[in-house]
Structure 1
Amino acid sequence: MNPLLLDIPLQLETSRLILRAPKQTGDGTVVNMAIRDSFHELKIWLPFAQKIPTAEETEINLREAHIKFLKRESFRFLIFLKDTNEFIGSTSIHGINWDIPKCEIGYWINTRFSGNGYMTEAIKELVHFGISKIKFKRIEIRCESTNMKSRSIPEKLMFKLEGILRQEDLSADGRKLTDTCIYSIIS
C-alpha cells in the first residue's frame, strides 16, 4: 500500500496528554519558548539545539514537519497536558522504511516537566500507535549512551537494548565521538 493512503490521525491521546501534529499557525511560538526554557539541557544532547532559534525559525521547522507528516515521511507530534493545554515537549516517528516497515522514535521534553513520566506515557502511546495502527514491524530508539534520562524511557517500555555502537556518532556540538545505544521493539 502506498503510505500516502494511510489514514493517520492528527491527534493521539493518553490519560494525561494530547499528542498533536504541528498544524496550527503559532505553534512555533510555544515550541520556541520551551526550547529557550530547556536550552542548556537540550544543547548537551541535540544538534538542533546548539543555538537558540528564533520563533520564526521554529515556526518554519514546524510547518516543514507538517508537510513531511502529510507526505508520510515522518510524523512529529507536539505534546500538551490535557488539563492545562500547556506544551511540554515533542516526539516523532522518523527514519521510516516503508519496505520493512520500520521506524525510529525521537523525543525531547521541556525541562520544567521532566520527571513526571509524561514522556514515557507519550512514547508508550506512540509505540502502540506505530505497531497496532501503522503496522510497523520494528521500532527503534537511538540515544547517546551517557544520556541516562533518554535511555530510561525505552528501558521502562521493555525495549531490548540490541547493542551499543562505539564511537558511532558525533556529540551534539560536533566536538567528540560518542557511543550510540540502539533499543528496539518488534511486533
Structure 2
Amino acid sequence: MKPLLLDFPTLFQTERLQVRKPFPGDGTEVYEAIQASLEDLLPWMPITTETEENAEEIVREAHGQFLLRETLDFHLYDKVSGTFIGAITLKPENWDIPKFSLHFWLHSAYTKQGYMTEAVKGAIQFAFDKLGARRIEIRTDATNVNACNLAERLEFILEGTMENDFLAPDGSLRDARVYAKIN
C-alpha cells in the first residue's frame, strides 16, 4: 500500500500528555519553547526557527509532510495546562518494512520530569500498533548522555557507534550511536 493512502490517528495520549500532529498557528508556541531552551538545544540540533514567522513556516511544512506521510511530527502538550512542551518525530525511513527513526526535543522547563520518556514510550506504541512498524531507530550524538540514557532506559539495543558520522551544529565532527527497537 502507498503511504499516502494509509489512515491512522493524528493524535494519541499518554498519562500526562496529549500528542498531536502540528497545525497551522502552532508556530508561536514552538518558537517560544525553542527560544526558552536554546542553551540546552543548540549543542544537539540546528536551530532554524530564528523568528516567529520562520517557526510558523516550519510548522506548516510539518503539517503538509504529515499529510503526505513524509515525516510524522507530533507536538507534545501537557494535558492539565495545555502548554506546548516539545516535539517528537517518527520519520519514515522505509515504508516497505516499515522502519522509522525517532527524533525528539523538550522545552527546558520540562526536562528531568519523565515527560520525554513518556512521550517516546507513547510514540513507540503508536508506531508498532498504528503504523505496523517493525523497526524504530534512535540515532544520537554519542556525547548526548540524556538521549543515550533515554534509549537505554526504554530498552533500545545499542547496535553500534558510527565514528565521524555527522557534523554537529557547531561544525565539529561527531560520532553517532545507533539504537534500535524491533517488533
TM-score, scaled relative to structure 2: 0.97
1:23-60 superposed Cα distances (whole Å, 9 cap, x missing partner)? 1x32000000000000111111102x2x6510010000
Q: Which residue of 1 aligns with 2:166?
A: 169
The count of aligned residue pairs is: 183
What SS class does the counterpart of residue 44 from structure 1 fall into?
Answer: coil
Q: Which runs of 4+ in 1 moved over 6 A?
A: none
Please, which of 97, 101, 105 is the counterpart of residue 104 of structure 1? 101
Unpaired runs of 5+ residues, structure 1, are none
Counterparts of 1:131 and 1:125 in 2: how far apart (Å)? 10
Q: Which residue of 1 aligns with 2:21?
A: 21
Q: Which residue of 2 aligns with 1:121?
A: 118
> What one-letter code is carried by the residue in structure 2 that aligns with 1:14?
T
Unpaired runs of 5+ residues, structure 2, are none
The Cα of 1:8 is off from its aligned counterpart by 2.0
Counterparts of 2:116 and 2:49 in 1: how far apart (Å)? 22
1:33 and 2:56 are equivalent in the alignment: no
1:183 and 2:182 are equivalent in the alignment: no
> What one-letter code is carried by the residue in structure 1 that aligns with 2:5?
L
> What one-letter code is carried by the residue in structure 1 that aligns with 2:124?
V
Identity %: 41
TM-score, scaled relative to structure 1: 0.95
Counterparts of 2:29 and 2:93 in 1: how far apart (Å)? 27
The Cα of 1:21 is off from its aligned counterpart by 0.6
Q: Which residue of 2 aligns with 1:6?
A: 6
